[in-house]
Copies of this chain bind each other. A is one copy, B any other.
Amino acid sequence: MIVVMKESATQADIESVMQVLRQKGLDPRLTQGVEKTIIGVLGPKEKVRELAVASMNGVEKLVPVSNPFKLASRDFHPDNTTITVGDHVIGGSEPTIIAGPCSVESLEGIIDIAHAVKKSGAQLLRGGAFKPRSSPYSFQGLGEEGLQYLASAREATGLGIVSEVMEPGLVELVAEYVDVLQIGARNMQNFALLKAVGRTNKAVLLKRGFANSMEEWLMSAEYVMSEGNPNVILCERGIRTFETYTRNTLDLNAIPVVQHLSHLPILVDPSHGVGNSRYVTPMARAGIASGAQGVIVEVHPNPAEAWSDGAQSLNLDQFAEMAKQVRQTHTLVQSFSNETSVL
């Protein structure tokens, strides 16, 4: 943390701040320039983040300098993490492709979709059983019945299963059925839920909250990891901006930045990111080109008939084409990585 003093700060102001810091057991270091005085504050991160000198006389502002995440940081874990689900290695040499309907609607339906997406190259099946809906009057998902259907689809196809869990009390139940526990964007800072999935040994797909900074996202990964579960997969799914033409603004900048800061694998979700199937394939390609290790997309045999999120679902032909383009783009990006020592 750095304390920046105002140009009008007096020597007494500076001394008061130094004293308060020392009383907190911290080690403040003064740097005085012609125009500006700054105080570097060293000490354990937790203490430093709780500093309350911002409103003292002569203080202009506090500037944090430490990344507050450790287990998720590449500083302490330079190599990429890979996470194995069934036969598939997330973060490995193949791009991860996760596909399926927004909501599980029927046993037959989900098995048919599973066969279809597997044929086109998906390694994991997604499907909502417990659904977060902004309206209490919208369809809330089939619940455990949906999980049973997903498990049957795994049995029929061998695909791993990804499904969302929304509350700590249901983690155990959902974990019985799925291979990857999804934390949705609205729950990215549901800390009780993060701790609960951190106490399982399942892989966790952690979506970025739609108004959360990359730092907060990595801190949420840290919550899961600090409970003992290192298997966190990050997923960018769009942030909120002033633009209304797209449902969200898929923030692909997050891919290279997070890969610089962290060793965890990262995917993109263009379906929620743009909210319109017309733009899903170009954004899936762009995500892979930016360096993402895979995609998660919504697929439905007949989007106009889907119970939820039909507007952003690909049909099966569109999905097959997207999967091909994703694989070819990934192969191209991989071919660059040996030659990019200058970058």
Residues of B within 8 A of A226 (CB): 136-137
* A318 CA to B138 CA, complexed, in Å: 41
Q: Nearest-CB distance from A28 to chain B (Å)? A: 10
- Asked if A166 is at the interface of the complex by the 8 Å CB criterion, the answer is yes
Interface segment, one of A80-88, A105-113, A146-154, A273-281: A273-281
- Asked if A216 is at the interface of the complex by the 8 Å CB criterion, the answer is yes
Q: Nearest-CB distance from A135 to chain B (Å)? A: 5
Contact B223 A136 (CB under 8 A): yes
- Asked if A134 is at the interface of the complex by the 8 Å CB criterion, the answer is yes
Contact B243 A214 (CB under 8 A): yes
- Asked if A222 is at the interface of the complex by the 8 Å CB criterion, the answer is yes
Contact A325 B336 (CB under 8 A): yes
- Asked if A22 is at the interface of the complex by the 8 Å CB criterion, the answer is no
Contact A189 B132 (CB under 8 A): yes
* A288 CA to B252 CA, complexed, in Å: 13
Given contacts A256-B282, A277-B55, contact A4 B65 (CB under 8 A): yes
16 cross-chain CB contacts under 8 A: A8-B78, A27-B33, A34-B42, A52-B310, A54-B311, A169-B192, A209-B211, A211-B211, A241-B251, A246-B257, A252-B283, A253-B273, A253-B283, A281-B340, A321-B339, A328-B336
- Asked if A308 is at the interface of the complex by the 8 Å CB criterion, the answer is yes
Question: Copy number in this complex?
Answer: 4
* A318 CA to B336 CA, complexed, in Å: 13
Q: Which residue of B is nearest A248, CB measured?
A: B253
List of 4 A-B pairs having minimum Cβ-Cβ separation, nearest first: A52-B310, A211-B211, A33-B42, A289-B289
* A286 CA to B259 CA, complexed, in Å: 15
Given contacts A255-B282, A322-B343, 16 further A-B contacts (CB under 8 A): A20-B304, A33-B40, A34-B43, A35-B42, A46-B139, A50-B307, A240-B242, A241-B251, A252-B283, A252-B286, A260-B279, A278-B343, A289-B289, A318-B343, A321-B339, A328-B336
- Asked if A12 is at the interface of the complex by the 8 Å CB criterion, the answer is no
- Asked if A38 is at the interface of the complex by the 8 Å CB criterion, the answer is yes
- Asked if A142 is at the interface of the complex by the 8 Å CB criterion, the answer is no
* A335 CA to B8 CA, complexed, in Å: 28
- Asked if A313 is at the interface of the complex by the 8 Å CB criterion, the answer is yes
Interface centre among A76, A328, A329 (most CB of B within 10 A): A329
Residues of B within 8 A of A73 (CB): 7
Q: Nearest-CB distance from A134 to chain B (Å)? A: 5
Residues of B within 8 A of A342 (CB): 315, 317-318, 321
- Asked if A303 is at the interface of the complex by the 8 Å CB criterion, the answer is yes
* A251 CA to B279 CA, complexed, in Å: 13
- Asked if A187 is at the interface of the complex by the 8 Å CB criterion, the answer is yes
